A = this chain, B = another copy of it.
Amino acid sequence: MANITKKVSWSSRADESGPVGEATPLLNGSEQPRLPRQLSGGGNIFQIGRLSTVDLEEEMTSEEESLRGRPKEIPHNEKLLSLKFESLDYDNIENQLFLEEERRMSHMGFRCLEISRWVVCGLIGFLTGLIACFIDIAVEELAGQKYKVVKKNIDNFTEAGGLSISLILWVVLNSAIAMVGSIIVAFFEPIAAGSGIPQIKCYLNGIKIPRVVRLKTLVVKVAGVICSVVGGLAVGKEGPMIHSGAVIAAGVSQGRSTSLKKDFKIFEYFRRDTEKRDFVSAGAAAGVSAAFGAPVGGVLFSLEEGASFWNQMLTWRIFFASMISTFTLNFFLSIYKNNPGDLSSPGLINFGRFETDTVAYNLYEIPLFIAMGAIGGLLGALFNVLNYWLTIFRIRYVHRPCLQVMEAMLVAAVTATVSFAMIYFSNDCQPLGPDHTEEYPLQLFCADGEYNSMATAFFNTPEKSVVSLFHNQPGTYNPLTLGLFTLTYFFLACWTYGLAVSAGVFIPSLLIGAAWGRLCGILLASTTPNGSGWAVPGKYALIGAAAQLGGIVRMTLSLTVIMVEATGNVTYGLPIMLVLMTSKIVGDYFVEGLYDIHIKLQSVPFLHWEAPATSHWLMAREVMSSPVTCLNRIEKVGTIVDILSNTSTNHNGFPVVVQDTASEEPPKLCGLILRSQLIVLLKHKVFVELARTRLTQRKLQLKDFRDAYPRFPPIQSIHVSQDERECMMDLTEFMNATPYTVPQETSLPRVFKLFRALGLRHLVVVDDANRVVGLVTRKDLARYHVGKHGLEELQLAQT
């Protein structure tokens, strides 16, 4: 039987980016010492760079770990597609083991599985709600302490002079807290930086982002977000909730913690990518639900970002997790607020109730709303462009952790200084309400019984500022205050997003929008006849907030529902939708959404919903990678080890072929096997020769694969002796015997649809006699996108 394994790169394009060379066979177990991977033949995969927070591999040895501190400065090119990301296996590997297990399972067994799925979703919702509750209470308490200290200090020094001491106190407090938040992120878990939404988007899209759903990430994320909000940065605590929910889901559903080395021996059936990704969508939804009190919005967020094939039961479970999550948060917050049973705070941010009677809208206001949507789109695009440049700058020059911490401290200090200056120079005094709705009213230079209006916007957690912009009586803010606030907060928020702190952009966006929206309302009320009748500032603040947020993040359906649920008023559905649509259309004309920009900067092979419209002239033949490294159904162990050790190719899926011994025909496709499976087989030494001598031994079971999931050992850690290299391995039982295939003439959109709808990782391209001619993977499809000059092709690179 001829060995048809071909030792060439599976993607011919990859060849251009690095030397292929003859692979260095790593003879593990022979005298040849194990080379550190970064020195081996095609080891260019380690030129990672800190393209922000996502790193290459789950498995890093300690010496490799130490390299992470000093990455090289690499030139950045957004026309690249990174080869370092792998897909999740959303398609079940239907090999004989799997089928046998499924066939053994009774109807009752499947029912029990279904029940445990519900239990897991309930747990996810509950824990996510608890985490949200913890974050909320921690922020409230700590920020309360901070504001009390600073306020007391300011009050003391206002009369006596020497407010500069107050300023220094404020700056030092903020910087110190922000420093703590930044240190844990930058030094311990860089992937916990930012809102985490881009990472979760990628994960739900089917891309394996290393370390994104680990326990450590969760701890750093939660501690980090508390620090950033308390540290007075222009950030929100809502985005990180989505990431937290996802981590909880990934952890709970596996019934074990690899970090804590604790295996509860439950939910073992769920230890594969298919099930795990489903639970992660539930977790993300629970996170949204807890953040905004928007369970339906959470479900739609998960579906908008993650779903490929819609499954009714899954959706229903996601909804259940969302409901439990908001209910848990609500319940515990009501206890915290000494008002048990009052379920009126379903989310971390509550916009407060918009009553239809007080703020109904008229038909003639709709054009105004649309105009505001356009403004939001413009401002959002400006925000994104500025942040894009800033991110490029950061990738080039601010990639060391200590620099990142210093930048975070600088931003915290500047934020405090600017806030103080704004408050100091503002002379917008407002009478204190009779019911003292302001939590920390700063009197400063105002008369007794009055407070500084600029301080309500700056001297407060951003969530409370948003609510006060929505609901305070007309006349609470004067236009100049709002204008200045918008301007400063815009730049502060833009600077803040992308820092090495754990923080979200939702609330700052809402705040900016609410400020200029309220300004619009005030201007309309004063310039139009009857304006004061209908131009309620709170209503325009809401529309502005929606416009600004839509302009920045460009989410559509889910955002509308989130806004509607957060306002608790269905009437605003249509205006909010129109505003979001306008801002998206206007914004998309200039630049992509913020999350998409950050995803693109990572060179992640992100698959959109459909293939580019004008790609019908491309065929599978042109898209696929070829030639393909194939394995025989009964293959020599040495060959397999060599192929797996070949770092220049680093393939993950191998078509299995079989040749009719009688005829001279080329071999035919008979299955597909994954690198991870081969590694487990090698580890358990499932060799044909050994099987004959060890007939009494137990057969390899699905459990062995599950135990190794998700951190399969690298091939280098597996010891294969020279004798064993001469053995044969029979893959029949373990390969997926019915991989999906397409003919060579299939058009790109058709390939794309199959790939996306079924969440595939490998799609084999065959000729008319079922012979393997190529393999389509995520990277082959993600390469094509519509640019300014029609269809463009991204380059693949080992960045």
Contact = CB atoms under 8 A, between A and B. Distances in A.
B758 A738 contact: no
B770 A750 contact: no
Q: Among A296, A342, A753, which residue has the most Cβ atoms of chain B within 10 A?
A: A296
Contacts of A315: 303-304, 557
A425 interface: no
B769 A609 contact: no
A296 B294 CA distance: 13
B738 A742 contact: yes
Contacts of A103: 616-617
A768 B766 CA distance: 11
Contacts of A561: 296
Given A343-B360, A360-B343, A614 B106 contact: yes
Interface in A279-316: 293, 295-296, 299-300, 303-304, 307-313, 315-316
A573 interface: yes
A342 B316 contact: no
Report the contact-size class of chain A (Cβ under 8 Å from the partner): 35 or more
Contacts of A573: 295-296, 323, 326
Contacts of A105: 613-614
Interface stretch (A148-156, A563-571, A624-632): A563-571
Nearest to A311: B609
A609 B314 CA distance: 10
A573 to B, nearest CB: 6
Contact of A570 (B362, B568, B670): B568
Interface in A715-762: 737-738, 740-743, 745-747, 750, 753-754, 756-758
A319 interface: yes
B102 A616 contact: yes
A346 B570 contact: yes
A577 interface: yes
Interface in A93-129: 94, 99, 102-103, 105-107, 110
A758 B768 contact: no
Consensus secondary structure, chain A interface? mixed
Contacts of A770: 766, 768-770
A344 B745 CA distance: 56
Interface in A537-575: 556-557, 560-561, 564-565, 568-571, 573-574
B312 A304 contact: yes
Contact of A740 (B304, B307, B356, B754): B754
Given A573-B295, A577-B319, A769-B770, A312 B609 contact: yes
Contacts of A557: 299, 312, 315-316, 319
B323 A670 contact: no
Contacts of A312: 304, 556-557, 609
A737 B745 contact: yes
Nearest to A99: B616
A215 to B, nearest CB: 29
B670 A609 contact: no
Q: Among A300, A557, A746, which residue has the most Cβ atoms of chain B within 10 A?
A: A557
A786 interface: yes
A756 B556 CA distance: 27
A493 to B, nearest CB: 27
A39 interface: no
Contacts of A740: 742, 754
Contact of A309 (B308, B327, B565, B790): B308
A331 interface: yes
A309 B310 contact: yes
A610 interface: yes
Contacts of A341: 360, 362-363
B754 A746 contact: no
A508 to B, nearest CB: 25
Nearest to A738: B746
A493 B33 CA distance: 82
A270 interface: no
A35 B754 CA distance: 44
A609 B361 CA distance: 42
A687 interface: no
A79 interface: no
A668 interface: yes
A595 interface: no
A313 B307 CA distance: 13
Interface in A339-363: 341-344, 346, 356, 360-363
A408 to B, nearest CB: 35
Contacts of A669: 768
A320 interface: yes
Contacts of A346: 570-571
Contacts of A614: 105-107, 110
B110 A363 contact: no
A361 B341 CA distance: 8
27 contacts: A94-B750, A99-B617, A102-B616, A103-B616, A103-B617, A107-B613, A107-B786, A293-B570, A296-B564, A296-B573, A308-B309, A309-B753, A309-B756, A319-B560, A319-B577, A323-B573, A331-B363, A341-B360, A343-B361, A568-B570, A668-B768, A669-B768, A737-B745, A738-B743, A738-B745, A740-B754, A769-B769
Given A99-B747, A319-B560, 7 more contacts: A299-B557, A308-B757, A309-B309, A323-B573, A568-B569, A766-B770, A769-B770
Interface of A: 92, 94, 99, 102-103, 105-107, 110, 293, 295-296, 299-300, 303-304, 307-313, 315-316, 319-320, 323, 326-327, 331, 341-344, 346, 356, 360-363, 556-557, 560-561, 564-565, 568-571, 573-574, 577, 581, 609-610, 613-614, 616-617, 668-670, 737-738, 740-743, 745-747, 750, 753-754, 756-758, 766, 768-770, 786, 790
10 smallest beta-carbon distances between A and B, as pairs: A110-B613, A102-B616, A738-B746, A307-B310, A757-B757, A310-B310, A309-B757, A103-B617, A770-B770, A312-B609
